[in-house]
Amino acid sequence: MKIKIGLIILLLLFTAYFAIAVGEISTSISWKPITLPEKNESKKLLLNPDEHIYNFVGITSPSSTNTAWKGINDNANPASPISRGETELTTDEYGYISYSDDIWANKQGGDATDFPAFRWKFVVTEDPKTVTQIDVSVEGKGGTNGEENDGWTFYIRNWLGGFEQLSETYDNAEITLTGQITSSIASYIDDGGNIELEIVTKGASSGGTGIYLDYAFATITYTVPPTANAQLIMISE
């Protein structure tokens, strides 16, 4: 009988000790909920814009990449190839049109049926699907020294519909003409990556008409995939 009573007392003491121990352990644990991001909160991937400038720096003749030609058109409209006497620029002339420095490549017309012109292409390496904007610029001058038909026009080729006018001038003074394409981008880049541009005088003269090219370049704005950022969820005290 005494043994049974002793065992019961030991059992009660052990139970009480265990309850106290468990209570102490449970009070030392900090239970902190994990807050997960809202739906789609961390899934918004922004595309990062980048730019690539194309010009004629370092180009030599004959060129297998960016290429420029000069010649005589039959009228004030662009033509590809240029109507008469189209020739690629020399290595020296590529140097002339690589910088804005008032060193010119030029083409002269001899009579009232000659419309001097420059034509060039930039070979872009970006996938047309990623291109969001094309900016083109040309610095030049042209005309007949004060006659009525002074000036020249800047064109870009739409490979689905022919040349389109970007800008123009009615002066024979040096000027920079620009253009920008922000829609139907793929129409202006052919399967070989070519963007084609042309400048041609507005008029011709029996005394001769000239066109001068100082600097030409294009800026391609395109998108690149973002860098994936891993999100780490931590539980801290």
Output DSSP code: residue 226. Answer: P
What CA–CA distance (Å, rounded) separates 153 from 170?
Answer: 9
The 10s digit of each residue's pLDDT in 149-183 is: 689 999 999 999 999 999 999 988 899 999 999 99
What is the model's pLDDT at position 63? Answer: 97
The answer to whether 158 and 237 have CB atoms below 8 angstroms apart is no
What CA–CA distance (Å, rounded) separates 104 from 139?
Answer: 10
What is the model's pLDDT at position 45? Answer: 46
The answer to whether the Cα torsion of 79, 80, 84, 89 is positive or negative is positive
User: Span 48-224: which CATH code?
Assistant: 2.60.120
Q: Give the DSSP H/E element, type plus range, for residue 140.
A: strand 131-143
User: Please, which contacts does 175-178 make with residues 24 or more away whose CB atoms are closer than 8 Å?
Assistant: 175/139, 175/140, 175/141, 176/137, 176/138, 176/139, 177/137, 177/138, 177/140, 178/135, 178/136, 178/137, 178/138, 178/154
pTM of the model: 0.75
Output DSSP code: residue 141. Answer: E
203 band by pLDDT with thresholds 50, 70 and 90? confident
Read off the amino acid at residue 161: G
Write down the residue that tokens 């970007």 correspond to: 166
Token duo for residue 41: 């909160």
Length in residues, the chain: 237
Asked whether the predicted pLDDT for residue 3 surpasses 70, the reply is: no
Domain boundaries, the chain: 1-32, 48-224
What is the model's pLDDT at position 199? Answer: 97
The 10s digit of each residue's pLDDT in 27-82 is: 443 444 444 444 444 334 456 679 999 999 999 999 999 999 999 999 999 999 99
What CA–CA distance (Å, rounded) separates 211 from 150?
Answer: 10
What CA–CA distance (Å, rounded) separates 176 from 137?
Answer: 7
8 band by pLDDT with thresholds 50, 70 and 90? low
The 10s digit of each residue's pLDDT in 113-135 is: 899 999 999 999 999 999 999 99
206 band by pLDDT with thresholds 50, 70 and 90? confident
The 10s digit of each residue's pLDDT in 75-116 is: 999 999 999 999 999 999 999 999 999 999 999 998 888 999
CA 233 to chain centre: 37
Q: Give me the sheet containing 67-73, strands edge to edge.
A: 84-88, 67-73, 115-123, 194-201, 152-158, 162-169
Write down the residue that tokens 């290595």 correspond to: 91
